[in-house]
Amino acid sequence: MNGFIDIVTGQVEGYNSFVAISAFVTSHARALLWRLIEKTPPGHLFYCDTDSLIVDAEGLKYLEYHIRESELGALHLEKQSDTLTIYNAKDYVFANKRKIKGVRTTAKKIDDHTFGQWQQRSLKRVLWNEQEDNCQWKWVEKTMQAGYKKGTVDDYGIVHPLVLDETV
């Protein structure tokens, strides 16, 4: 970007990894998810993540054909709930349980947007310090961002995605 090229040295790809496989699986999953989103009528899909859709009963009717509980890669109906509160991407309350990426269900709620939890030090750090027999934990606090940053939410709760200006 802007004529600069970043060159990263000193890092190697993990042993026994083949990036093309994971890239293909990810792109295939995203394409499938997009096709399912397009099948769901506007106003009946409330949330979408890497591997999930949250729809109402009407939206479910349009996806039922794709639900096959025992088939790998097909849709599964995991939970049903009468209520859904979305605070942000990867931060929502479904079936009276709050799900926040990176925050355990056992985390201590400090305030509405801050959670604290014990986090185990990485195995790499433990081995680097040559303390294999010493399990290390640290207290971390995570503050969630207020406000939705991927679009604007109108008075009816409809999200209008941000669109980049093509003249840039």
Give 22-63 pLDDT, tens digit per residue: 899 999 999 999 999 999 998 899 988 888 899 999 999 999
d(CA 34, CA 30): 6
Phi and psi, residue 28, nearest 5°: -65, -45
pTM: 0.68
How does strand 159-161 pair with strand 151-153? antiparallel
CB 36 within 8 A of CB 50: no
Higher-confidence residue: 57 or 86? 57
> Residue 160, class by beta-carbon neighbours within 10 Å (0-12 exposed, 13-18 middle, 19+ buried)?
exposed
d(CA 20, CA 129): 34
Higher-confidence residue: 70 or 151? 70
Give 57-84 pLDDT, tens digit per residue: 999 999 999 999 999 878 999 999 999 9
